[in-house]
Structure 1
């Protein structure tokens, strides 16, 4: 079974998902304002509805279906809780099961401004913590005996605050020099690259886009590109018994 899309078809699908993302961001904020909800601060009102990444979820679900998986084997709205080691369960964004085997689990996150600094640390802790929790649960036999494919998908707003170099905060010991002179976009690239190198995740994808991009997007690293991510997932699923 061959990969279902050409490079051009995949880019078109990703562009449509990007456009859907920005529409959902703006739409969710508008709904809360219209409903008189004023408790959310900054851009938080744009994400509390939970629909902003549905375009990317749809893309990955279409890919999984193309690999021969039925709707009963693909979970993305409910039934996505998996056992953990440090906690009873954790909800993943997409879970694929077949014949009682966990074939794949995917974590999907995004960030827009203005608080890139605080959110970067939070996203880092979440990403590393979730993967560590899952792999320890697998070691303990809580996820079956066949190794699953675990992916991390991240969407970042391309904005001046995310692309300009950031000064390193003071520290008791000197930080890794790789972070010196980096932007938050650079740091997300380092994070995703290192999580794959350290086998926290089998693959990671990182894409960026300006808020008024009209669906245009960029991939800071070809190794973290959507096509590489999708092909790795597709290849694993084809071989999943």
Structure 2
């Protein structure tokens, strides 16, 4: 389970997250939605121990990620498709992570097969398309067979077949009893994938609950999102 409790994160005089609280439960795909600058990426970074909270907490199974010794066995994440060194092959990249986390070598072949990269495992990552790098990021998240998975914009750069594959994968992972936390700007894809949704704006919680409940009142998830975030978006000089 992912639990965020009264999380505050400030960078100097800027407050990126302002008292945010929500829960993502096992066996569910929980979507994380918000306009640009809403604090989503900051929340994920605190959750995964990449940044320290100013106050409050963000825990996985009740424990801060930094305090957990299981590493990739505890939680897997895709935050940046460019995380693998471009000069390494996918197989070497994954093998190094497996060794560092005390994982059996067979997991490398298993996750490469899971994400459809077996035939290109010997190619340098720098030759991969963005969609292929996203698949490698998913493979990295799956490497430790963790109970909690966090994905930030995982289908960015994927073709329609890849998007369908990712949707099915996330649904299957949740059906296995895992907690799947999915941040994306693609509201239509979120509506087709997630069970629950957390909507944030300006670092604060705007809504939380089953997608059907939020979408039902407004007519669609997109309409609900736009209504909820209308006061959290600042359009300047014609920008989007």
TM-score by length of 1: 0.33
Higher strand share: 2
| Bigger RCO (CA 8 Å, 6+ sep) | 2
